[in-house]
Every structure is written in structure tokens, then in C-alpha cells.
């Protein structure tokens, strides 16, 4: 395999055609098109693997017999655009020669361009050349996205960059068995041991071999969960077992702890009772150091938790 002196000189590999996505085309017009993509009229877009960045695409159909990416770049020398081919796509820009990529990495390339990160700024080790096409070394993760209101259609997590996607209407039935069958048909295009489903703010990581093995998570743990699965250090079942183990330890630790919450007078706080929590602070001093008190916290100074939360709400004992 040849190693070019810089990423701007990279070129790509035939990509097996993928099954058409079960979608409404309107799903892909969520944002103003900023990825200018020229599609020769002899290229069937329904046979091109879809991806999340299609929400920002501006697709321009051109005459395959007369269109030339090189000539288009001469007309718009400061422009950057993609040209779709049947088995790959080509990136044209003023920063170097045309670069051919596998469709596996189309979302990753468009994400980098959207983040204004040029290939010349990237490490060459992130890409590998396979049969003349360039792609990210790690295979993408397959996402099933339900509706335009799904979290992945509006968030910009780096973990979403190296992905391919299938899109469904928000009202469609989320049949994990059917989704698993689709995922199994795409194991040559993406990570093969799991896939991700997103509806609204909820996510599921599903074992490709068994749709009954799924792990539910949210956006706050999304990056850690998907990255651990994608790099092969974790399986869906291990994630489930890990969470159940943590839950069991926490439940056991909460039993017979002998902990009682008391107020400033030493009285036990009843369940459901509102109270204000104060935290010891070295910056707070008593106005009168000679002041005497029988209070159990006498001589200590305190920081109102409101100083940190700023919400002015009392804490409730539960």
C-alpha cells in the first residue's frame, strides 16, 4: 500500500451498493444545504448509503456526459464540493488534487468539512487506502434514526461523525427484529457486532446477533457508550451486565447504612420535609467569634449551597 506524503493526495475503493433506506425524503432537508454534492444523472441516489450529514446536503443533479469536477472547480476555485460516482465519491477543493473516498466514510468526510477541518490538518493514520479508495481505519457505526426530531438530527457529537444511517418516519414502528435484519445485511459496511437506534432523546445499542439484547442510554453517556462498543472493548451484553452489577452494589450500599439526615439542631429530618443544605467554607467566618451557642455545629462556618446552584430551591428529603 502506498503512503502519500499528505492526506490531500488520497484516493478510494469500490463500495457494495446498499439497500435503499426506508425514509421520507423530507428527512434530509433539516438544514440549509451547505454540502454541495453533484450527482451525475446516471447515479441512483437511492443506492447510495445514507448518512447523518445528508441533513446538510445540497444535491445538484448534473449531466453525466458533460459534467467535469475539474472544470467546475476552475469556475469556483475557492469552493469545495463532492461528486458522487456509482462506487465512490470524490472530494474536490482548492487545497489539493481530487481525493476518492469509499462511501463508508462519506459522513466522516462531510462532518470534517462542516467543522472546517481540512484533510491537510488531519493525521494520515486515521485513513487507510483500500483498492484505491480512502476510508477511516475504523468502520462506521450503523444508526437507525426515527424522525426529524431525533436527537442525532440536531446534535453535533463527534461520536456521530464515523457513522452510516437508515432513516424512518417518527411514527414508524420500532421493530428491533426488522432492524436487526437490516443491520445484518450491512455488516460489510459498518461495525458488525452492534447498531444504534435513536428515537427522540432515547438511544438503544442493540446486539446484531440478538435483537433482545439491547442497552438503553441517553445523550449524556452517548459518547462513552458508543466509543467503547465501536472500538471493540465492550459488547452490548457486557454493558448490560456492568450496569446491573453497579445497580446491585449501590442498592446493597444503601441498605443498613445507618445514615440519618439531621437538621442544624440535631433533629432527624423527616421524609418529604424541605430543608436548606449548608456546606462548610473556609471563607465564611462568624461575625462575632465570642458568640456562644449550644448548637451541635457551634464554631463552624457554612457556605449556602445556593451559592453554587443559583436556583434558590430548597432540597427535599427523599
Which residues of the chain form CATH 3.40.50?
A: 141-238
- Alpha carbon 138 to chain centroid, angstroms: 15
Is the Cα dihedral 58, 59, 63, 68 positive or negative?
A: positive
Q: What is residue 294's predicted lDDT score, i.e. its pLDDT?
A: 52
- Count other C-beta atoms under 10 Å from residue 146's C-beta: 23
Averages of pLDDT over each 10 residues, the chain, 318 residues = 34 32 35 75 91 90 95 86 94 87 93 70 68 92 95 90 95 94 95 96 96 95 95 93 72 60 77 69 51 49 39 44
Q: What is residue 299's predicted lDDT score, i.e. its pLDDT?
A: 47
DSSP state at residue 19: P
Which one, of 4, 246, 63, 23, lies nearest residue 71 by Cα?
A: 63
Q: What is residue 262's predicted lDDT score, i.e. its pLDDT?
A: 77
What dotted CATH number matches 141-238?
3.40.50
Exposure of 29 by Cβ count < 10 A (0-12 exposed, 13-18 middle, 19+ buried)?
Answer: middle
Residues near 132 by Cβ (< 8 Å), separated by ≥ 6?
Answer: 11, 12, 13, 100
Which H or E run contains 248?
helix 236-254
Cβ-defined contacts of 217-225 (< 8 Å, 24+): 219/151, 219/155, 219/157, 222/157, 222/159, 223/157, 223/158, 223/159
Largest CA distance in the chain: 94
What is the pTM assigned to this prediction?
0.68
Amino acid at each position: 500500500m502506498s503512503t502519500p506524503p499528505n492526506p490531500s493526495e488520497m484516493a478510494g475503493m469500490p463500495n457494495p451498493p446498499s439497500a435503499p433506506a426506508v425514509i421520507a425524503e423530507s428527512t434530509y432537508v433539516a438544514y440549509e444545504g451547505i454540502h454541495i454534492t453533484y450527482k451525475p444523472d446516471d447515479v441512483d441516489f437511492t443506492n447510495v448509503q445514507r448518512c447523518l450529514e445528508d441533513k446538510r446536503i445540497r444535491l445538484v443533479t448534473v449531466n453525466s456526459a458533460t459534467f467535469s469536477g475539474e472544470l467546475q472547480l476552475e469556475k469556483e476555485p475557492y469552493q469545495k464540493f463532492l461528486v458522487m460516482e456509482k462506487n465512490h465519491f470524490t472530494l474536490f477543493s482548492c487545497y489539493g488534487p481530487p481525493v476518492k473516498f469509499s462511501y463508508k466514510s462519506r459522513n466522516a468526510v462531510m462532518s470534517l468539512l462542516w467543522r472546517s477541518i481540512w484533510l491537510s490538518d488531519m493525521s494520515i493514520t486515521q485513513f487507510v487506502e483500500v483498492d484505491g479508495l480512502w476510508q477511516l481505519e475504523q468502520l462506521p457505526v450503523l444508526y437507525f434514526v426515527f424522525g426529524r426530531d431525533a436527537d442525532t438530527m440536531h446534535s453535533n457529537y463527534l461520536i456521530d461523525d464515523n457513522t452510516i444511517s437508515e432513516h424512518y418516519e417518527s411514527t414508524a414502528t420500532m421493530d428491533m427484529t426488522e432492524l436487526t435484519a437490516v443491520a445484518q445485511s450491512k455488516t460489510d459496511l459498518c461495525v458488525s457486532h452492534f447498531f444504534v437506534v435513536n428515537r427522540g432523546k432515547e438511544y438503544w445499542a442493540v446486539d446484531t446477533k440478538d435483537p433482545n439484547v439491547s442497552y438503553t442510554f441517553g445523550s449524556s453517556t452517548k459518547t462513552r457508550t458508543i466509543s467503547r462498543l465501536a472500538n471493540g472493548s465492550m459488547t452490548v451484553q457486557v454493558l448490560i451486565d456492568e450496569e446491573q452489577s453497579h445497580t446491585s452494589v449501590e442498592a446493597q450500599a444503601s441498605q443498613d447504612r445507618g445514615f440519618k439526615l439531621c437538621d442544624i439542631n440535631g433533629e432527624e429530618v423527616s421524609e418529604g420535609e424541605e430543608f436548606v443544605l449548608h456546606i462548610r467554607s473556609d471563607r465564611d467566618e462568624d461575625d462575632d467569634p465570642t458568640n456562644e451557642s449550644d448548637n451541635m455545629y457551634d464554631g463552624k462556618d457554612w457556605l449556602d449551597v445556593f451559592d453554587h446552584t443559583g436556583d434558590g430551591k430548597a432540597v427535599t428529603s427523599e
